[in-house]
Amino acid sequence: MDIFEAHQKLKAKEISPSELTRQCLDKALKSKNNSFISIVEDFAHQCALESEKRIQKNGPQTYLDGIPFSLKDLFITKGIRTTAGSMILANYIPPYDGYVSEKLKKAGGTLIGKTNCDEFGMGSTNENSYFGPVSNPLNRKFVPGGSSGGSAVSVLEGSSFYSMGTDTGGSIRLPANFCGLISLRPSYGRISRYGQIAHSSSLDQCAPLGKSVTDMACLLEALTEYDVRDATNVPLGTMSIAQDVHQTPPEHLKGKKIGVYAPFIDACKPLVKSSLEKALKHCEEAGAKIVTIDLRHLKYAISTYYIISTSEASSNLARFDGIHYGLRESDGQGLEQTYQKSRSRGFGNEVKRRILLGTYSLSAGYYDAYYKKACQMRRLIFDDFQSAFKSCDVIFSPVCASTAFPVDMSQKSPTEMYINDFYTVPIALAGLPGLALPYGKGENDLPTGFQLIGKPFGEKELLKIGRALELTY
């Protein structure tokens, strides 16, 4: 059952918010997947009761009213512990509420808890969390993907109907892909980042994950009100597209031009590749036209991404110094010692590695060779997309060359993991929206899928095409 269906059932009073909440809480509390860092039982029940009152009186007020959800622990929730998956914030209780938390509360959603994630969003396997790794219920020998692994698993295991995660370089699309779920990375600037713990400011976006394309539309409706507190939020107005998206027929695909850059598909593992080829065939059968595009600079996207994201992160994480909040190791002799010990103890290895790389890229004498160079490459990557969109409506691309990685692979060779973000980082660099859809199975009988990349602020068309496709499977 997705949001849309649950909403209809709540409207028809076939089920109640309390029932839904009890079911989800049950799954959360009994979960063996370590999908949650914090579960807020009392709060969840309270939200459910309030929804119930509302629904009894006037029916559900929004699509999300009465429906249980989870939030990645990078989202600030007032009064509810928010850890970013890190020891340095293990006991941090925010004094304010973030945009996403506010809006979903306002929409009547029931928060089940804060999901586990790679520390500060850094990682692609959810094995970099201070609170332990998240397991993939489909096959425990493989990872669920990261950094929003907890979000994906909470939907997969049934402890929430949808989850809000974040996507900086693929952090929502990769776990969705590995778990056979649907996720949307909106255009940069579409949803306010106020209250989203920053990883890389020019790349971060709040990103929903759920079971259907319509659900993505429902979530955009709730989360696209302009927030003047975020100077990078674009005032395009609240989107009202759920009905339209849901009612999009398969015929919508007729004549749509889908751009494909062949080398991308070819570089995938055999079973993933064949799934992707089938998916493309599907599109053609539905009346879409496959168009060849050139995305030659995208092979530099990983290097570009890792310079920019770590540079910004090294600055964003400077505030975790043990002075005003968070872990302070006070056996330090003086100020310098306090900083060093708090940060060394509080941050995990991956975070430290990225802070070091980012600090290096920005440091005196290296700025031009690294940060500036990366920003210039980013322009070329963006231009590739701009050119491509002249001849197509949407771009088709893999999400990952393989299915889920084996457990512990990331811990044994961390730097080799970076290349796995190959297909997900480009659109983050260009600020484009991407819809990750599951399709078929790949190696190890694990889910695989693809992503559709839309034009800047082209979420509506992207979702309509996605919905049309969804209906044809």
Whichever of 217 and 377 has its CB closer to another protein, that residue is: 377
DSSP secondary structure string, 208-241?
EEES-HHHHHHHHHHH-S--TT-TT---------
* Torsion over CA: 391, 396, 401, 405 (sign): positive
Using the rule CB under 8 A, which residue among 49, 290, 291, 380 binds another protein?
380
Q: Which two tokens mark 439?
A: 């399709």
What is the bridge-based pairing of β-strands 162-167 and 205-210? Answer: antiparallel
Q: Pairing relation of β-strands 257-260 and 289-292?
A: parallel
- Give the shortest CB-326-to-another protein separation in angstroms: 7
Site for another protein in 82-121 (CB under 8 A): 82, 84, 89, 91-96, 98
Task: Looking at residues 58 to 77 of the shown chain, list those that interact with another protein (rule: CB under 8 A).
Answer: 75-76
Distances (CA, A) of 450 to 152, 243, 302, 466: 16, 24, 19, 11
Q: What angle do CA 269, 270, 276 make, to 5 degrees?
A: 90
Rg (CA), the chain: 21
Residues 267-326 contacting another protein, CB under 8 A: 297, 300, 302-304, 306-307, 311-312, 314-315, 317-326
The interface with another protein within residues 256-275 (CB under 8 A) comprises none
Scan for tokens 């990331």, then name that residue. 410
The answer to the question of residue 353 lying near another protein (CB under 8 A) is: yes
Considering beta carbons, is residue 96 or 473 the nearer one to another protein? 96
Closest CA to 163 of 256, 69, 84: 69
CB of 309 to another protein, least distance (A): 11
CB of 219 to another protein, least distance (A): 19
Active site residue 361: no
Q: Cβ contacts of residue 330 below 8 Å, gap of 6+?
A: 338
Interface mask toward another protein for 195-234; x: CB under 8 A:
xxxx-xxx-------------------------xxxxx-x
Give the nearer residue to another protein in terms of CB position, either 203 or 469: 203
Q: For residues 75 and 423, which CB has a smaller minimum distance to another protein in the complex?
A: 75
Contact call for residue 133 and another protein (CB under 8 A): no
147 is catalytic: yes
Q: Which residues in the 1-60 window bind another protein by CB under 8 A?
A: none
Residue 389: helix, strand or coil by DSSP? coil
Phi, psi (degrees; rounded to nearest 5) at 25? -60, -40
Catalytic residue among 147, 148, 192, 275: 147
Of residues 12 and 364, the one with the C-beta less far from another protein: 364
- Spot the catalytic one: 27, 72, 341, 455: 72
Residues carrying an active site annotation: 72, 147, 171
